């Protein structure tokens, strides 16, 4: 039997897919009860994957079995309810089911002619996101891998527009001799924003830093005088405190000066789709571009980054590729709004989440994460830990009032307990514990169990 015949038989027989389904269900059933982080035994078993490249065909059932036996225990249980380390959301079941289906479709989504269904779904998602966030009607969406890519696209569009406004075609003439571009950012800007500035050749040394308050919000009164050469970088959701910059006041000043505002809202922009928390994003619709992740707060599968831009011509000019073989249409051609050409149909999972949740469900999900964060802060505070931030969204910054070394020992002990997983950060010059509540799975009981892990770890460290 040839290799091709073998693969035809495997696809037709379906046993391989049944096996994968059984392993997946087994994993899902146990994710909430196992150690959040892999045990030492699971980590040691990763050596089973170390081997020379095989010369012959492998047995597909054995390959699946090996991956489940040694790979599943060595994964981090982010789909359980007690992972709070990074801003990594859970997975809404319908989006995971949709991902399975669309993986069988195996669509390339660069052009409408490549995948009419994806083109249509992207158009629908674009409309729904504008409605949810209250963005300008001319806003277009690019569906990319994550917020890092989305920020890059937004700033590329900004660079093109600022240069074009000064009669400089950046695509043709490049940086050499280009008009000066000023980059204005708060001193608490996320590293992904800084990376995009560097990748686009705007220069980190050229950033004009603006002071932030004790919650990490840009102080509007500290903003420099703006003009049409400026890109202003704001954030919806400080990576530590979860705070939101004052969009309304700063956007008004930027628009009056002809500057471009980009809002980095990886996890926080979703507050704009709620009733209770919408006040945090007041004025965000006045910006020119926004970046947000579906796989964070909205709990879609990875990868699901979204770039929203109110200046379609600038975005298309900044990102469009050309070629005689590329057949553009009157319908949506997704590659116009992303750097990628080959791109999976990730927007379909986003569509499934939005259709399943509706506006009421988005509100319930996002506000629910906030409530669990508030519960965390209240129970930890009652247990004698210090909460250093105003818990306005889903982030909690915790201090144990000890040295940085003591705090790191406490973090290590909590992580090693297997009861929950939290990460460390630095806040106002001091080592802290950072809690990110991002999964729909997290219950009140999960939070209380995790607080108990804090208390137990502190007792163990103090005992030593």
- Res. 32 pLDDT band, cuts 50 70 90: confident
- For residues 358-369, give the mean pLDDT: 97
DSSP-assigned states of every residue in 106-122: T---SSTTT-HHHHHHH
435-454 pLDDT, tens per residue? Answer: 999 999 999 999 999 999 99
The CATH number linked to 303 is: 3.40.640.10
Q: Is residue 91 part of a domain?
A: no
- Report the distance separating Cα 93 and Cα 441, nearest Å: 11
The reply to whether 240 and 266 lie within a common domain is yes
pLDDT band at 284 (very low <50, low <70, confident <90, very high): very high
pLDDT mean over 187-205: 94
CB 343 within 8 A of CB 108: yes
Q: What is the rounded average pLDDT of the residues 323-345?
A: 89
Average pLDDT over residues 395-412: 93
Residue 78 confidence (pLDDT): 87
Domain encompassing residue 181: 106-347
**250 and 268 belong to one structural domain:** yes
Model confidence pLDDT, tens digit, residues 104-124:
999 999 999 999 999 999 999
Instruction: Please report where in the chains the tokens 């954030």 appear, as a residue.
Output: 235
User: What confidence category does residue 89 fall into, taking pLDDT thresholds of 50, 70 and 90?
Assistant: confident
* Mean pLDDT score, 259-283: 97
**DSSP per residue over 151-174, as a string?**
HHHHHHHHHHHHHHTTT--HHHH-
Lowest mean pLDDT among 87-96, 157-166, 250-259, 358-367: 87-96
Confidence of residue 31 (pLDDT cuts 50, 70, 90): confident
Q: What local confidence, expressed as pLDDT, does residue 327 receive?
A: 85
Q: What is the pLDDT, as a whole number, of residue 464? A: 60
Same domain, 302 and 224: yes
Is there a contact between 19 and 25 (Cβ–Cβ < 8 Å)?
A: no
**Domain co-membership, 278 together with 320:** yes
pLDDT of residue 232: 98
Structure tokens at 36: 């959040």
Residue 258 falls inside a structural domain: yes
Residue 441 lies in a domain: yes
* DSSP state letters, 395-407: EEEEE-SS-HHHH
Query: Cis omega (within 30 of 0) on the bond before 4?
Result: no
Evaluate whether 150 touches 305 at the Cβ level (below 8 Å): yes
- DSSP code string of 333-345: -GGGGSS-SS---
Q: What is the mean pLDDT of residues 364-391?
A: 97
Q: Can you tell me the distance from the alpha carbon of 325 to that of 124, in angstroms, rounded to the nearest whole number?
A: 27
**pTM exceeding the 0.75 threshold for the entire prediction:** yes
Q: What per-residue confidence (pLDDT) applies to 237?
A: 97
> If you average pLDDT over residues 300-314, what whole number do you get?
96
* Residue 366 forms part of a structural domain: yes
pLDDT of residue 321: 79
Of residues 359 and 78, more confidence is placed in: 359
287 and 394 in a single domain? The answer is no
Considering the domain architecture, whether residues 316 and 412 belong to the same structural domain is answered as: no
Which one of 347, 364, 398 terminates a domain?
A: 347
Task: Residue 366: give its domain's CATH number.
Answer: 3.90.1150.10
Q: Domain count of the chain? A: 3
Question: Do 25 and 164 have their domain in common?
Answer: no
Task: State mean pLDDT over 121-137.
Answer: 97
- Of the residues 24, 58, 73, which one is the last residue of a structural domain? 73
SS3 262: strand
């Amino acid at each position: 039997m040839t290799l091709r015949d073998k693969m035809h038989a495997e696809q037709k027989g379906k046993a391989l897919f049944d096996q994968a389904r059984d392993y997946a269900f087994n994993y899902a059933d146990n994710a909430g009860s196992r150690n959040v982080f892999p045990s030492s035994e699971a980590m040691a078993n990763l050596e089973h994957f170390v081997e020379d490249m095989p010369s012959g065909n492998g047995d597909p059932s054995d390959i699946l079995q090996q991956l489940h036996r040694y790979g599943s225990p060595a994964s981090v249980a982010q789909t359980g309810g007690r992972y709070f380390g990074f801003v990594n959301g859970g997975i809404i079941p319908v989006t995971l089911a949709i991902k399975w289906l669309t993986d069988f479709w195996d669509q390339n989504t660069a052009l409408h002619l490549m995948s009419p269904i994806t083109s249509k779904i992207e158009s629908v998602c674009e409309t729904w996101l504008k409605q949810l966030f209250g963005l300008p009607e001319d806003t277009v969406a690019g569906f990319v891998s994550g917020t890092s890519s989305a920020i890059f696209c937004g700033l590329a569009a900004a660079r093109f527009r600022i240069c074009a406004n000064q009669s400089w075609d950046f695509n043709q003439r490049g940086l050499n001799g280009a008009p000066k571009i000023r980059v204005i950012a708060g001193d608490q800007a996320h590293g992904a924003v800084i990376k995009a500035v560097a990748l686009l050749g705007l220069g980190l040394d050229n950033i004009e830093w603006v002071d932030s308050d004790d919650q990490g919000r840009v102080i509007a009164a500290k903003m420099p005088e703006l003009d049409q050469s400026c890109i202003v970088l704001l954030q919806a959701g400080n990576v530590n405190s979860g705070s939101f910059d004052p969009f309304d006041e700063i956007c008004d000043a930027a628009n009056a000066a002809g500057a471009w505002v980009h809002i980095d809202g990886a996890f926080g922009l979703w507050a704009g789709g709620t009733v209770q928390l919408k006040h945090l994003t007041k004025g965000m619709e006045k910006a020119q571009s926004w970046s947000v992740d579906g796989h964070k707060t909205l709990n879609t599968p990875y990868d699901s980054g979204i770039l929203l831009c109110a200046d379609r011509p600038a975005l298309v000019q900044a990102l469009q590729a050309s070629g005689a073989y590329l057949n553009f249409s009157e319908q949506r051609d997704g590659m116009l709004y992303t750097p990628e050409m080959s791109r999976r149909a990730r927007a379909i999972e986003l569509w499934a989440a939005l259709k399943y949740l509706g506006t009421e469900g988005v509100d319930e999900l996002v506000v629910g994460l906030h409530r669990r964060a508030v519960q965390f802060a209240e129970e930890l505070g009652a247990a004698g830990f210090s909460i250093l931030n105003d818990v306005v969204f889903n982030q909690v910054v915790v201090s144990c009032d000890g040295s940085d070394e003591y705090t790191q020992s406490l973090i290590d002990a909590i992580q090693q307990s297997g009861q929950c997983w939290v990460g460390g950060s630095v806040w106002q010059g001091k080592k802290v514990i950072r809690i990110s509540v991002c999964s729909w799975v997290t219950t009140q009981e999960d939070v209380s169990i995790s607080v108990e892990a804090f208390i137990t770890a502190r007792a163990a460290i103090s005992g030593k």
